A and B are shown apart, each in its own frame.
Chain A
Amino acid sequence: MTGQLTTGQLSVSELEKIRADFPILSRTVRDSRPLVYLDSGATSQRPRQVLDAERAFLEQHNAAVHRGAHQLAEEATDAYESARARIAAFVGVQPDEVVFTKNATEGINLVAYGLSNSAVAGGAAERFALAPGDEIVITEMEHHANLVPWQELCRRTGAVLRWYQVTDDGRLDLDSLELSERTKVVAFTHQSNVMGTVPPVAELVRRARAVGALTVLDACQSVPHTPVDFAALDVDFAAFSGHKMLGPSGVGVLYGRRELLEALPPFLTGGSMIEIVKMEGSTYAPPPQRFEAGVPMTSQAVGLGAAVDYLSAIGMERVAAHEYALTERALTGLSEIDGVRIIGPSDCVDRGGAVSFMIGDVHAHDAGQVLDDLGIAVRASHHCAWPLHRRFGIAASVRASFAVYNTPAEIDALLAGVHEVRRFFRVPA
């Protein structure tokens, strides 16, 4: 992929060019079947450009960042900070509002621990301290990464976890909960990793603001797939992972509104995040350094910078349009197959490209195995959203999820595979 393409659908030849950038897409699996990779919701594949950027960095400029005064150290620091600036711009925020974490999970934990550490940190952090009976609000459609850290925060502070419920068609039920003056945090996904549902962010933010609660956005499934501007969304914190957006594993981002990051006490502590260290006590650097203890994932940040460049060169509007078309094709096709039950919205309104479903009463593992045998990689599990699955009375589902490199033909292969599952397990019509 080269060149700046900003409008309209991806053409067949563009899509071919994009696919050629991803070495893994040309491999075969299970008795020489071409790989049909429909598990990008779990982790995406990496284009050559990202692999090359990381390798060039390691072969030419590698050094510990923000620590050395020699030439390599300066070059490495420049590469790392340049990546931060480009990634920040990609999501509409300032570089010093972007903290590098190992994944989105760490980012959300950082906020949760920052809040409990506020109780003992003193100073500006006091505004964040939670008291027993305070409320943390999430939703029933959260990934475990945006659920368990809040349960544990409640355990540490005596706060109480509450949640918005999910309707039968997989939407957020805004009437299922009233925030209160005790609500201190409202944390929610930007897009369900199971159902694709995009909840009404503006309304959730409005309600949280009205009671003075902080908002935390789980942007893992939005940033890779559609244009996102955290400043415009007006959320306080947001987290996403590099590996889901064509970038390396081992790197994620936590966005925090500047004045909040400035007041938040540190989470991981150690080298590079300090101001003054004495045996008797230490003070800490301003953000983002305060939240980046130890030698960071340097080459991975550089790789994520390259991923953002790659996506920007295609244009996120076009990425979104392409995935929208794939999702629509999948939804339409699946809904025409007898016995298939889609979990979540069956239309394309406020919905991204994750499609989870059941095929008759075939267990997701069994269905996934048949698809795998055909070369089709989907995920068969609760997708780390177990409470949501329980809400729909199931243990696990089959999920197909898409990225910019998927093709309509791959959707058709999925649909054919679903027919094969029905045949193999004799699902009645």
Chain B
Amino acid sequence: MDLIEIFQQVINGLSRGAIYALIAVGFAIIVNVLKFSNFAHGGVLGISAYAGYLASSQFNLSFIPVVLIGMVTGAIVAVLVEFIAFRWIRMQKGQLVYFFVTSVTMLMLLEQILVIRFGSFFDTYPYDLIKVKFINIGELSISVTYLISLAVTIVAFGLLIYVFKKTKIGIAIRAASNDMTTTSLMGINTGMVIIAAFVVSGMMGGISGVLFGISTSLSPQIGQVVVKGFIASVLGGLGSLTGVAVAAVALGLIEVFLVSTIGSGYSPVVIFALMIAFLLLRPQGFAGVSFTDKA
């Protein structure tokens, strides 16, 4: 491999990582806040991706409105998911694990809705939605959608970290994740707070859906990419969005590295081995914050 090729692969890895990070953050919001892996996020992502597709192909909207439509759709779908799959269980004080179960069911359901509406075939965003698709620097090529993803990720991170650390509503969301009852004793409307969390996560899901859709193609199974978010959010460590982002980018780089060296075939085996090694060495995840339950 010559140097150019290595550089190109690094760019490829970072690009992949950028998209993963975007997906992972939306996923991790609910993980961190409500303490369960919300696989329905994949469904939110999928529906928004198709909404953006319809907006761009049927109504010829341009990039920014399409992204906005994706965000709004994401938020709406996420809130709907909350209503359908989580609200009742929460009100009846069901166990956390049920959220996981209903969320996966929701993912399947949303996926099937897409299968019925769009067939299992695939669609692509109009070619000219983004005028410049990629940039060449010398022999290197960088995809513009990935650059946008990277930028959006960074901005979203800044915003989210600010919201969760500094604003009352952000802290309230985290408080609710600890103890709903006590949170309501603080005068906080927990129902609204949870919805707020889903709105934020849904918006992130919407953006990632549209960007992922633009940079690839759409199929009803698009939402399954949420497993990358799952991997990154666990590896990232609980309670840290930064850790999640780092983990997502690392995952992208490692995948590309493995594909370019040993090929895609056995790379899940190596990733499995790396995962174990990493967790044994750093049980607190990338972020390093570990919340110990005091006895």
Bind each other: no
